Structure 1
Amino acid sequence: MRFGYEDLQVWERAVQFAVTVIDVIDDLQCDRKHFRLIEQIESSATSVSANIAEGKGRRSQKEFIQFCYISRGSLYETMTFLEIFHHKGWINTDTYKKLRSEAYEIASMLKGLINSLN
């Protein structure tokens, strides 16, 4: 038995993106006094897939679409934190570029999903 969201490639990619972000955060080269930023990026990264799953479990297509938009917002929030971390030198350029590329693909997949539901 599978949950409906497990059939969505965008959900799977978002889960893997969150795992990668958490792995990067675990290796951060920064003073841990910035724990609030670290908690926030972990929250936003995991919210991408969580909102897709929650939306899929809702009763209407309209609600699912709304949760896809929320998911996209969480993805953008995550990328903003990664941009800040990159500027601070906490993550290197190669890591930042890989995460940015993955986020762009997920955003494109979310857009396609939203368009298919409209």
Structure 2
Amino acid sequence: MVDYKKYHVWQRSHQLVLDVYRITSTFPKSEMFTIVPQINRAAISIPTNIAEGCGRETQKELIRFLYISSGSAHEVEYLILLATDLKFINQDESERLLTELLEIKKMLGSLIRKIKSTL
């Protein structure tokens, strides 16, 4: 088992969750049962799956959870694009979040490759 809090990708994805929650709190009330819970859940899934994978017994299991985390990062990316098109997120904030997501996805890919190379 690995301490997930030591992974830089977990730290950055945790901060992303905090940023997403801050931003979605400003969305219209009409979105409280549609895009808000969807984007919040997808964002939470990124660091949660990293943490869960670190608690598993094998490196193969960790890799599986990192792939799930990566899938959630792609989902958040789309939802940010959608929220931007709907004018719920301004362009500057959107670009900042999308840049951070790109880095998180790269970090996840790199971590997956690193772990796979040790199997």
TM class by shorter chain equals: over 0.9
Matches within 5 A, 1:30-109: 30=28, 32-35=29-32, 36-109=34-107
| 1:27 Cα offset (Å) | 1.9
Deviation at 1:6, TM superposition (A): 1.0
* Partner in structure 1 of residue 22 of structure 2: 23
| Paired residue type of 2:77 | M
Q: Following the alignment from structure 1 to structure 2, what is the Cα–Cα distance between the partners of residues 74 and 22?
A: 15
Q: Which amino acid aligns with 2:8?
A: Q
Shift of 1:69: 0.4
Distance 1:22 1:70 in 2: 21
- Distance of 1:106 and 1:41 partners within structure 2: 16
For residues 33 and 26 of structure 1, the distance between their equivalents in structure 2, rounded to whole angstroms, comes to 12
Matched residues in 2 for 1:21 and 1:39: separation?
A: 11
| Residue equivalent to 1:9 | 8
Runs of 4 or more, structure 1, over 3 Å off, are: none
Unmatched 5+ stretches in structure 1 = none
Q: Cα deviation per residue 1:62-81 (whole Å; 9 max; x = unaligned)?
A: 01001000000011111111
1:116 to 101, 114, 117: 114
Instruction: Quote how far apart the aligned CAs of 1:33 are.
Output: 2.1
Aligned residues: 114
CA distance in 2, matches of 1:33, 1:89: 14
Partner SS, residue 61 of structure 2: helix
Structure 2: segments with no counterpart, 5+ residues: none
Q: Write the deviation string for residues 88-112 of structure 1: whole angstroms up to 9, x where unpaired.
A: 1111100000000000000110011
Amino acid in structure 2 at the alignment position of 1:7: K
Cα deviation, residue 37, structure 1: 1.4
Q: What TM-score, normalized to structure 1? A: 0.93
Instruction: Measure, in 2, the Cα distance between the counterparts of 1:14 and 1:25.
Output: 16
